[in-house]
């Protein structure tokens, strides 16, 4: 099977497996991205996320992460549910101008099964399929679990462009999706990088409650609500409590206001769809949550990352601003 045939076959199989996009790029050193990452780290915009300083060489060159790598195969898997977005944007849940809390909200990506499991299951199948056609295959699959600059590879493989909020935007899927990669020693026909279609729009910058988007295409992670409610292990700084809005895990504000998300196609993967018991719950429901119930409720779910104490901390941080 020649390179063109292999590329077409792998792309078709990715679609069959439920990925909404599959792109191919040559494994090489990310020179521009390395320079930007170094500057971002030196400015301390990663906050307490010290792990982002580790393995810089592997993060910027996949050939050092996977010896012998020749290609990065990027995939896109949507979790978008239009009805859910409408519910979250309803003013009964959040008065954006006053930043007053009605009901606590969990970021939409974390309402279904943990995406790490879902995408890896599909990627392992895609890997074995590619291996069977290629007469063997060496490499690894990744889903936000190693020093891989997944956004950079998504852009290079044509899956989308980096928006001013630093999320990847796809013409059909908006930004409501997860990314995964296969870094392998096979050679494919490579896609052209995606072009930027944000234009003069600054809605994500204007809407950010904590001014974390300090300039177009640059986010100060140490000010982001997602950082406060997921990554930070200490108490959330008091000066940010009234800016957290309804968010007790993650934040979707910059994506909610993005025009490209208005017509985003629904995601097809049922394992990523929201579970009813996590949606539209009030303070009383979450107040009564104990450790055992937390473990049951968030088993194989991204919210477990914040741990029980962190979840309760987040809830208490927004309580003083509820209606």
| Integer angstrom CA distances of residue 51 from 54, 59, 145, 146, 179 | 5, 11, 12, 10, 20
How far apart (Å, rounded) are the C-alpha atoms in residues 82 and 34?
A: 36
How far apart (Å, rounded) are the C-alpha atoms in residues 168 and 200?
A: 17
How far apart (Å, rounded) are the C-alpha atoms in residues 288 and 48?
A: 30
How far apart (Å, rounded) are the C-alpha atoms in residues 253 and 99?
A: 12
Among 61, 144, 185, 256, the active-site one is 144
Q: Are 225 and 210 in contact (CB under 8 A)?
A: yes
Reported as type and span, the H/E element at residue 312 is helix 307-319
Residue 196 a catalytic site member: no
If phi > 0 it is left, if psi is from -120 to 50 it is alpha, else beta; for residue 292 that is alpha
Q: Are 8 and 140 in contact (CB under 8 A)?
A: no
If phi > 0 it is left, if psi is from -120 to 50 it is alpha, else beta; for residue 245 that is left
Catalytic positions are 144
């Amino acid at each position: 099977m020649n390179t063109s045939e292999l590329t077409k076959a792998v792309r078709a199989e990715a679609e069959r497996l439920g990925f909404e996009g599959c792109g191919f790029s040559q494994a090489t050193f990310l020179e521009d991205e390395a320079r930007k990452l170094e500057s971002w780290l030196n400015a301390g915009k990663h906050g307490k996320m010290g792990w982002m300083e580790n393995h810089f060489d592997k993060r910027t060159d996949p050939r050092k992460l996977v010896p012998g790598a020749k290609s990065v195969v990027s995939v896109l898997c949507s979790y978008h549910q239009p009805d859910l977005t409408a519910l979250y944007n309803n003013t009964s849940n959040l008065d954006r101008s006053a930043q007053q809390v009605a009901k606590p909200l969990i970021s939409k990506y974390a309402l279904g099964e943990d995406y790490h499991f879902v995408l890896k299951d599909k990627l392992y199948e895609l890997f074995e399929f590619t291996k069977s056609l290629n007469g063997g295959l060496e490499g690894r699959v990744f889903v936000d679990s190693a020093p891989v600059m997944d956004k950079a590879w998504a852009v290079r493989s044509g899956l989308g462009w980096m928006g001013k909020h630093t999320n990847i935007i796809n013409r059909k899927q908006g930004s409501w999706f997860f990314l995964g990669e296969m870094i392998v020693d096979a050679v494919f026909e490579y896609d052209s990088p995606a072009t930027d279609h944000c234009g003069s729009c600054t809605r994500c910058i204007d809407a950010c409650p904590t001014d974390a988007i300090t300039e177009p295409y640059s986010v100060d992670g140490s000010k982001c609500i997602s950082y406060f409610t997921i990554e930070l292990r200490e108490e959330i700084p008091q000066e940010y409590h009234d800016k957290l809005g309804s968010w007790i895990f993650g934040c979707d504000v910059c994506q909610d206001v993005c025009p490209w998300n208005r017509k985003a196609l629904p995601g097809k993967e049922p394992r990523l769809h929201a579970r009813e018991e996590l949606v539209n719950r009030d303070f009383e429901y979450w107040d009564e949550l104990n450790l055992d119930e937390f473990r049951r409720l968030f088993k194989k779910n991204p919210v477990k990352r914040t741990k029980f104490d962190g979840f309760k901390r987040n809830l208490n941080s927004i309580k003083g601003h509820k209606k």
